[in-house]
Amino acid sequence: MRPTRQRCALADMLYAEGDRHVTAEMLHEEALIAGVPVSLATIYNTLHQFRDAGLLRGVTVGGTKTYFDTNLSNHHHFYNEVDGRLTDIPKGMIEVLGVPEAPEDKIISRIDVVVQIANKK
């Protein structure tokens, strides 16, 4: 992957503040505020390239929304239905039992648990 000016600027935004969960739209808004001239399509492409290179982890919520996580460790998430925020669940808080064996020619690469939360009524 070539270190273009836009990729470097996006990498700085992603990794400057520690572990983060961002959507392409969130990063695009940050880029515009920071004065980084980049299209939403370029952000999508860059995030997917970073994910494919092992620099980000993709977390899909509700089958339609993808967050990109800078924390590559094996961990799970809370998804806040009210504000759309994805946050890490502290390590050791969830135990996954009864994991099936993968088909003969496959391995389980990871297990993602996303716990959806909302306000009490």
| pLDDT reading at 17 higher than 90 | no
> Could you give the number of structural domains in the chain?
1
- Provide the token pair at 53: 């290179």
Q: Which residues span the domain enclosing 93?
A: 5-117
pLDDT level of residue 3 (50, 70, 90 thresholds): confident
What's the CATH code of the domain at 69?
Answer: 1.10.10.10
- Report the distance separating Cα 2 and Cα 76, nearest Å: 31
Whole-prediction pTM value? Answer: 0.88
- Report the distance separating Cα 116 and Cα 5, nearest Å: 37
Residues 33-92: tens digit of each pLDDT: 999 999 999 999 999 999 999 999 999 998 889 999 999 998 999 999 999 999 999 988
- Which residue is listed with tokens 């004065």? 35
